[in-house]
């Protein structure tokens, strides 16, 4: 089998790439490793995309400069400033491109992380977006193969000449003119995770698809591709420990953390819950919980806080006293009561305002709670058991501004491109900015598709 | 429905009923949901809402015992219609002076010589009033139970806005993506068109009755009316529209995957569509026979019996969705006015 462009992956980045390439006239085959009912990778669990928009000076605008600052605030140093700049700039044209292919928008959901100005929500969320793109891709003549995984690659120099594809028991060889890798990170590969994160990785939940096992990443890295991102970095958050090990999606995310206290399984606090606004800190808690004994933690709060954050799938544990609550979640009762009274004693009363960095803080407490500190004294008391939920890993393929995969030995592969989570590590080092994954996927997916199309025509 | 869900954190039974009726069964949410099968959560919102609606028909029905009795859909319809026809027939046989079921009456005032005006009007008035009372009781109970937000007053503006949203089927649009019925993967305007056609047909038939009443009481002319008269044209157009819409909906019901609906709801749908079909078809046949020969008594009694059955059944079956959905939209418009 031959084709002009082989797209490996079935999520947002892969679909944007396939659609771009097909629109440029290329004959495209897309390999979705999952069965049709599970298609779309992690993208089906997304809800919005962050894009620069508006005129500088307008109150509703989100200029590139502010976008860049927001990114820097949460991730610190970017790996590749030029690529970061590229993604932010190209994000401006993304919504129009998406609309031209049938994507519709909806008002920002309540209970999200204050995103209505900066992020745009696609109608029906990620699954609807993915469904729409699949329909568009089919209309453009893209051949979509389900339960099809790319197992091996053959090269002549820096040119990929063959890709071995397995579907059920059959193995086929495809001869592509160009290859676009958009098959995600390796977060579903628990063994690989333990190599970099330790055995504690086995106690983490994987928030998305179980099909991202990094096979293609590994093959290309073996073939000399230059990696990007540190191997132990990832986007991870605090999720409800009672959730499923895969495919929990958004509904298991716990947002009560900054409004109460967080303790580990010894009922000890371990980090400043109010360090900064939740949208800027929510992505740090994945790693924080990973570092705690047993990779578990608990968000403790009282009746004042109940109902002030986005509801989740499971109801919190509830009790009339702190001792009872400890019993309900398996914490040592005396220790929990001690931690709470120590915390309550350190709270200085202020003007509570969860929308900004208020003056409700603790004094003389280690670790402190810098903002939104209120005494936990109004029953009933609540607790969410927390686990690390890994969204995706940052270790991936280094690319240039044309989405071509770089080689360790210098320059790039002749005809191999990459997009999506597989290239996130080019920009994200630690931490995460809500909606940015879709930005990376859409921008690089389009670039890869366009570039592949040009190469095919040449 | 989803914006209404987002306005709440805890849900009472009244809230659930409110949301279920606000839902127009567009099924776009099933297409967009990442937690439907094969996901282990197996979320199926269209089905849950469908079951909630059926339950609320029973819950809001007055008197309550009638609501429970009518839950069984087609079987009840069949029994009720049959009983209605038999009762109507026997009563008229006993009290009438015209001869025989198979008699044909022609000429001036042939309709009322076949079945007297009083014998038609009085039961119709009784049944309509009873139905209207049940509908009004259901409507106000629905609005009352819709939750804490139901504190603000119902202004004419709210009612007018709600009426427009209800009549245009605004919320069948899936928030912009369209209605995914009967195929959960492909949006289609079918259902909206069929529904509008059905409502148009019923409205036209109702207008026919009104215009006939006008002709009778104001113009002093009794039925039967000429083929090209206003009542007959309105009635025929209405009847044909009803037949096309009902047949279309019945056929498409077969195609839609059962997982997204509920068995009870489907039974109720079928019952209503079949009963409407019977009324419309018997009416059209009656017209054809009337123009060809005259009023065929048994046919007229069957048609009247079918109408009586429909009216008896209407306050408890699928037809009530119009009342409850309108109530839900009214509550929702009021909520949106209070929470801009």
> Are the C-beta atoms of residues B272 and B317 closer than 8 Å to each other?
yes
| Residue A150 vs residues A177, A184, A220, A342, B116: alpha-carbon distances, Å | 16, 13, 11, 56, 81
pLDDT at A111: 62
| B32/A131 CB distance under 8 A | yes
pLDDT at B175 over 80: no
Q: How far is B243 from chain A (nearest CA, A)?
A: 35
* DSSP states along A394-451: --EE-B-TT-EEEBTTSSEEEEEEE-GGGGGGGT-SSS--TTHHHHHHHHHHHHHHHH
What local confidence, expressed as pLDDT, does residue A350 receive? 92
Nearest CA in chain A to B176: A104
pLDDT tier for residue A267 given thresholds of 50, 70 and 90: very high
From chain B, the residues in CB contact with A121 under 8 A are none
E-assigned strands of A72-169? Answer: 105-106, 119-122, 143-146, 148-156, 159-167
pTM listed for this prediction: 0.90
**Mean pLDDT of all residues in A70-77:** 83
**Do residue A127 and residue B28 have CB atoms under 8 angstroms apart?**
no
B6/A109 Cβ within 8 A: yes
CB spacing of A123 vs B175 below 8 angstroms: yes
The pLDDT, as a whole number, for residue A73 is: 83
What pLDDT does residue B70 have? Answer: 64
pLDDT value at residue A113: 64
Q: Model confidence at B272, in pLDDT bands (50, 70, 90)?
A: confident
State the complex-level ipTM: 0.91
Q: Which residues contact A191 (CB under 8 A, 6 or more apart)?
A: none
Using a CB-CB distance cutoff of 8 angstroms, which residues of chain B are in contact with residue A45? Answer: 34
Characterize the bridge pairing of strands A170-181 and A2-8: parallel
Output B63 or A370, whichever has higher pLDDT.
A370
Q: Contact B33/A127, CB-based, under 8 Å?
A: yes
- Tally the C-alpha atoms within 13 A of residue B58's C-alpha that lie toward its C-beta: 14
Closest partner residue to A128 among B3, B6, B177, by Cβ?
Answer: B177
| Contacts B9 to A, Cβ<8 Å | 307, 311
Predicted local confidence at residue A102, as pLDDT: 93
If interface means Cβ-Cβ distance under 8 Å, which residues of chain A face chain B? 35, 37-38, 40, 44-45, 104, 106-107, 109-111, 123-128, 131, 244, 247, 249, 251, 307, 311
Any idea what DSSP says for residue A225?
B
Partners of A104 on chain B (C-beta within 8 Å) are 176-177
Residue among B34, B38, B177 minimizing CB distance to A45: B34
Spatial distance between the Cα atoms of A363 and A368, rounded to a whole number of angstroms: 7
Query: What integer is the mean pLDDT of B288-300?
Result: 84
A106 and B34 within 8 Å at the Cβ level: the answer is: no
Question: How many angstroms away from the CA of A284 is the closest CA of chain B?
Answer: 26
Lowest mean pLDDT among A190-194, B195-199, B315-319: B315-319
Band of pLDDT at residue B307, cut at 50, 70 and 90: confident
- Residue A154 — φ and ψ, nearest 5°? -120, 140
Sort out which chain B residues have CB atoms less than 8 A from A44's CB and list them. 34
Mutation choice for A interface testing from B8, B32, B340 by most A CBs within 10 A: B32
Q: How confident is the model at residue A180, as a pLDDT?
A: 98
Hey, which of A241-255, B81-95, B148-162, B210-224 has the most confident mean pLDDT?
A241-255
Position A329 pLDDT exceeds 90 = yes
CB-based contact B176 A123, cutoff 8 Å: yes
Mean pLDDT of the residues in chain B: 84
C-beta atoms of B28 and A124 within 8 A? yes
A360/B79 Cα distance (integer angstroms): 70
Please tell me which residue of chain A has the smallest CA distance to B5: A110
Residues 6+ apart with CB under 8 A from B121: none
**Tally of residues, chain B:** 340
Mean pLDDT of B164-169: 88
| Percent of all residues in chain A with a pLDDT value above 90, rounded to a whole number | 87
Chain A contacts of B177, Cβ < 8 Å? 104, 123-124, 128
Q: Tell which wins on pLDDT, A402 or A60.
A: A402
pLDDT digits (tens, 9 = 90+) for A116-149: 889 999 999 999 999 999 999 999 999 999 999 9
Instruction: Among B28, B34, B184, B188, pick the best mutation site for testing chain A contact (most A Cβ within 10 A).
Output: B34
Q: Give the nearest partner residue to A244 out of B28, B32, B40, using CB atoms.
A: B40
Q: Is the dihedral of CA A406, A10, A436, A289 positive or negative?
A: negative
Which candidate from B3, B6, B32 shows the least CB-CB separation from A127?
B32
Question: What is the rounded CA–CA span in Å between residue A128 and residue A120?
Answer: 14
Residue A290 has pLDDT above 70, yes or no: yes
Is residue A97 scored above 60 in pLDDT?
A: yes
Question: How confident is the model over A172-192, as a mean pLDDT?
Answer: 97
Which token pair is A79?
A: 């790996």
Q: Would you place residue B72 in the very low, low, confident or very high pLDDT band (cuts 50, 70, 90)?
A: low
More confident residue, A9 or B290: A9
Residue from the list B6, B176, B177 with its beta carbon closest to the beta carbon of A110: B6
Q: In B, which residues are within 8 Å of A112 by CB distance?
A: none
Query: Locate tokens 């009426």: which residue?
Result: B163
- Does A104 contact B35 at a Cβ distance shorter than 8 Å? no
d(CA A214, CA A149): 11
* Residue B9 reports pLDDT greater than 90: no
Number of Cβ atoms within 10 Å of the Cβ of A343: 21
Cβ distance A247 to B29 less than 8 Å, yes or no, reads no
Give the residue with greater pLDDT, B159 vs A97. A97
Cα angle A339, A344, A349; round to 5 = 155
Cβ contact, residue pair B32, A307, below 8 Å = no
Closest approach of chain A CAs to the CA of B186, in angstroms?
10
pLDDT of B95 higher than 80: no
Interface of B with A (CB under 8 A): 3, 6, 9-10, 28-29, 31-35, 37-40, 175-177, 185
- Who among B6, B9, B28 is closest to A307 (CB)? B9
**Which chain B positions have a beta carbon within 8 Å of A40's beta carbon?**
34
- Which residues of chain A neighbour B175 with C-beta distances below 8 Å? 106, 123-124
Cβ neighbours of B170 (radius 10 Å): 11
pLDDT in tens, B103-120: 777 777 778 877 778 778
* Mean pLDDT over the full length of chain A: 94
Contact residues on chain B for A256, CB-CB shorter than 8 A: none
User: Which among A35, A44, A107 has the least Cβ separation from residue B34?
Assistant: A44
pLDDT at B152: 66
* Interchain contact, B29 vs A127, CB within 8 Å: no
A259: pLDDT strictly greater than 90: yes
Closest Cβ opposite residue B176 in set A35, A104, A131: A104
pLDDT at B98: 60
pLDDT attached to residue B73 = 62
Contacts of B39 in chain A (CB under 8 A): 247
**Nearest Cα residue in chain A from B184:** A131
Give pLDDT, residue A398.
97
Chains A & B: contacts with CB separation below 8 Å: 48
């Amino acid at each position: 089998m031959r084709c002009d462009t082989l797209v490996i992956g079935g999520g947002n980045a892969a679909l944007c790439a396939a659609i771009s390439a097909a629109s440029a006239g290329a004959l495209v085959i897309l390999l979705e490793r999952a069965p049709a009912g599970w298609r779309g990778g992690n993208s089906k669990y997304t809800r919005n995309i962050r894009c620069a928009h508006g005129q500088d000076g307008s109150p509703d605008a989100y200029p590139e400069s502010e976008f860049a600052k927001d990114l820097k605030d949460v991730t610190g140093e970017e790996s590749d400033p030029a690529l970061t700049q590229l993604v932010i700039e190209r994000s401006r044209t993304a919504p129009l491109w998406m609309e031209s292919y049938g994507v519709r928008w909806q008002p920002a959901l309540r209970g999200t992380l204050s995103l209505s100005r900066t992020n745009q929500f696609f109608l029906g969320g990620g699954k609807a977006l993915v469904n729409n793109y699949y329909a568009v891709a089919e209309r453009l003549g893209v051949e979509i193969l389900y339960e099809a995984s790319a197992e091996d690659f053959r090269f002549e120099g820096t040119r990929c000449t063959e890709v071995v594809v397995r579907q059920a028991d059959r193995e086929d060889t495809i001869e592509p003119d160009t290859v676009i890798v958009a098959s995600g990170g390796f977060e579903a590969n628990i063994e690989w995770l333990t190599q970099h994160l330790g055995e504690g990785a086995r106690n983490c939940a994987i928030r998305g698809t179980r099909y991202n096992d990094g096979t293609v990443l590994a093959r290309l890295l073996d073939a000399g591709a230059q990696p990007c991102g540190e191997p132990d970095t990832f986007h991870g958050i605090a999720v409800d420990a009672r959730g499923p090990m895969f495919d929990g999606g958004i509904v298991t995310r716990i947002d009560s953390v900054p409004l109460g206290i967080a303790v580990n399984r010894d009922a000890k606090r371990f980090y400043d819950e109010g360090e900064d606004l939740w949208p800027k800190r929510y992505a740090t808690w994945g790693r924080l919980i990973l570092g705690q004994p047993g990779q578990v933690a608990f968000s403790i709060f009282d009746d004042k806080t109940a109902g002030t954050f986005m509801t989740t799938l499971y109801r919190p544990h509830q009790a009339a006293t702190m001792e009872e609550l400890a019993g309900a979640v398996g914490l040592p009762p005396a220790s929990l009561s001690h931690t709470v009274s120590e915390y309550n004693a350190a709270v200085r009363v202020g003007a509570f305002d969860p929308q900004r960095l208020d003056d409700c803080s603790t004094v003389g407490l280690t670790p402190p709670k810098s903002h939104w500190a209120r005494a936990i004294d109004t029953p009933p008391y609540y607790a969410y058991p927390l686990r690390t939920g890994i969204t995706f890993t940052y270790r991936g393929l280094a690319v240039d501004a044309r989405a071509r995969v770089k080689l360790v030995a210098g320059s790039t592969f002749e005809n191999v491109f990459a997009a999506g989570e597989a290239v996130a590590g080019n920009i994200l080092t630690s931490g995460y900015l809500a909606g940015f994954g879709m930005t990376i996927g859409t921008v690089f997916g389009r670039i890869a598709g366009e570039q592949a199309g040009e190469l095919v025509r040449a | 429905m989803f914006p209404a869900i987002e306005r709440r954190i805890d849900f009472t039974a009244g809230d659930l009923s409110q949301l279920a009726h606000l839902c127009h069964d567009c099924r776009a949410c099933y297409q967009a949901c990442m937690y439907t099968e094969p996901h282990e959560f197996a979320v199926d919102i269209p089905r849950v809402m469908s079951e909630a609606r059926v339950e609320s028909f029973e819950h809001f029905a007055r008197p309550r015992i009638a609501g429970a009795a009518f839950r069984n859909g087609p079987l009840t319809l069949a029994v009720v219609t049959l009983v209605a026809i038999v009762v109507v027939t026997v009563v008229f046989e006993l009290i009438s002076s015209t001869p025989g079921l198979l008699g044909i009456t022609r000429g001036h005032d042939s309709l009322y010589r076949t079945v007297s005006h009083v014998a038609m009007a009085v039961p119709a008035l009784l049944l309509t009033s009873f139905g209207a009372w049940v509908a009004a009781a259901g409507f106000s109970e629905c609005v009352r139970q819709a939750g804490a937000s139901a504190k603000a007053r119902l202004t004419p503006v709210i009612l007018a806005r709600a009426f427009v949203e209800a009549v245009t089927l605004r919320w069948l649009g899936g928030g912009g993506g369209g209605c995914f019925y009967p195929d959960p993967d492909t949006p289609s305007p079918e259902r909206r068109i069929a529904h509008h056609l059905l409502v148009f047909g019923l409205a036209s038939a109702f207008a026919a009755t009104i215009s006939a009443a006008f002709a009778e009481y104001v113009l002093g002319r009794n039925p039967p009316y000429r083929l090209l008269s206003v009542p007959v044209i309105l009635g025929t157009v209405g009847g044909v529209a009803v037949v096309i819409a009902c047949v279309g909906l019945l056929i498409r019901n077969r195609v839609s995957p059962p997982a997204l609906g509920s068995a009870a709801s489907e039974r109720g749908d079928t019952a209503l569509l079949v009963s409407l079909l019977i009324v419309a078809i018997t009416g059209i046949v009656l017209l054809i026979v009337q123009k060809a020969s005259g009023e065929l008594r048994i046919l007229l009694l069957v048609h009247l019996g079918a109408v009586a059955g429909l009216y008896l059944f209407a306050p408890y079956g699928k037809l009530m969705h119009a009342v409850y959905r309108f109530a839900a939209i009214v509550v929702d418009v009021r909520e949106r006015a209070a929470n801009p």
